[in-house]
Amino acid sequence: MLKAPYERYENLYIYAFREGHPSLRELEEPDLIGYWEEDGLGVLFFHQEKEELVEELVKRLNLTLELKDVIPYAKWNEKRVPHPFVVGPFKIAPLWEKGDFDLIFDPSVVFGEGFHPTTALMLETSWIFFQEKGLPEEVWDLGCGSGLLSLFWAKLGAKVVAVDVNPLCIKVTKRNLELNGLEAEVIEGDVRKLPFFGGELILANLYKGLLLELFNIPSFFTSKYYLLSGFTTGMEEEILQALRDKPVKIEKRLEKENWVCYQLCLS
């Protein structure tokens, strides 16, 4: 996340450790962007090179450095450079842009700067959903990333619950809500281990394997509506097959650059 004196991201200095370590979560360092944990890796992102610090951490915490790299921010996230965009009535922009915006956010280094086709589809379908059906009682954002979808729904006035397994996504989402004077419940955790699924509308822009796992959790299909994305046209048959015996029907299908988004409702 951006904190003074940094006002934008230039280069990302990346250090990935096998398994990570709980102490890395508590690391305080002026040049630190954040600590990310996913798929058996703990990853530190800095604005500056941190060889000495990393060496010291490796020794003190008995870490294994798997990878280090430096990447210009403009090449991060498949070169999707964050910039202003519009969804429905809202002008949305990264916090470093000057201008009059309805929502500002720090995209940080997590997923969700707004331009991946799946995020764009989820936002577009959210706006269509709102126009057609109004405000759901509660919206659950599974895999919230930077929190863009949560911001969008919270701005529309919905009660929002956001979940992500990556601790950096949790910090970034909380910060982004704060930046806009919005509120939501933000939970760090694996969506497969949630004690229950709530909300009238569930948003799930996740990868295909995880969607398939969620479909097999009986309590997943107890909400009224679902917006799903994170799968391509090539994966669609498998998704359709998995939904065949589930108590839902597809109300809407949108496609963008080979990525697909479904709006489902309980049948």
Ligand X SMILES: C[S@@+](CC[C@H](N)C(=O)[O-])C[C@H]1O[C@@H](n2cnc3c(N)ncnc32)[C@H](O)[C@@H]1O
- Residue 204: CB minimum distance to ligand X, A: 8
Nearer to ligand X, 17 or 50 (CB): 17
H/E stretch holding 22: helix 22-25
Nearest to 182 by CA among 126, 100, 102, 99: 102
Residue from 163, 182, 202, 254 binding ligand X (CB under 6 A): 163
Query: Does 201 interact with ligand X (rule: CB under 6 A)?
Result: no
Nearer to ligand X, 166 or 223 (CB): 166
- Binning the chain into helix, strand and coil, the percentages to the nearest 5 are 35, 30, 35
Stretch that binds ligand X, among 88-96, 144-152, 215-223, 259-267 (CB under 6 A): 144-152
Contact 153, 94 (CB under 8 A): no
Query: Does 166 interact with ligand X (rule: CB under 6 A)?
Result: yes
Nearer to ligand X, 165 or 212 (CB): 165
For residues 95 and 147, give the distance between their C-alpha atoms in angstroms, rounded to a whole number: 14
Query: Does 202 interact with ligand X (rule: CB under 6 A)?
Result: no
- Residue 141: CB minimum distance to ligand X, A: 6
- List C-alpha distances in Å: 263 to 125, 133, 226, 256: 8, 12, 6, 15
Rule CB under 6 A: which of 31-90 touch ligand X?
Answer: 38
The three-class DSSP label of residue 60 is helix
Residue from 29, 51, 183, 190 binding ligand X (CB under 6 A): 190
List Cβ neighbours of 177 (8 Å cut-off, separation of 6 or more): 147, 150, 151, 154, 183, 184, 186
Residue from 180, 230, 261, 263 binding ligand X (CB under 6 A): 230
Query: Does 148 interact with ligand X (rule: CB under 6 A)?
Result: yes
Query: Does 164 interact with ligand X (rule: CB under 6 A)?
Result: yes
Total residues in contact with ligand X, by rule CB under 6 A = 24
For residues 30 and 228, give the distance between their C-alpha atoms in angstroms, rounded to a whole number: 38
Residue number with the smallest Cβ distance to ligand X: 143
Stretch that binds ligand X, among 3-11, 41-49, 129-137, 187-195 (CB under 6 A): 187-195
Query: Does 112 interact with ligand X (rule: CB under 6 A)?
Result: yes
Query: Does 165 interact with ligand X (rule: CB under 6 A)?
Result: yes
Contact 15, 44 (CB under 8 A): yes
Nearest to 108 by CA among 84, 90, 82, 85: 82
- List C-alpha distances in Å: 129 to 112, 244, 245: 20, 23, 24
Q: Please report the sign of the dihedral spanned by the C-alpha atoms of residue 79, residue 261, residue 194, residue 131.
A: positive
Nearer to ligand X, 169 or 264 (CB): 169
Nearer to ligand X, 166 or 176 (CB): 166
Using CB under 6 A, list all residues that contact ligand X.
38, 110-112, 118-119, 122, 143-145, 148-149, 163-166, 169, 190-192, 205-206, 210, 230
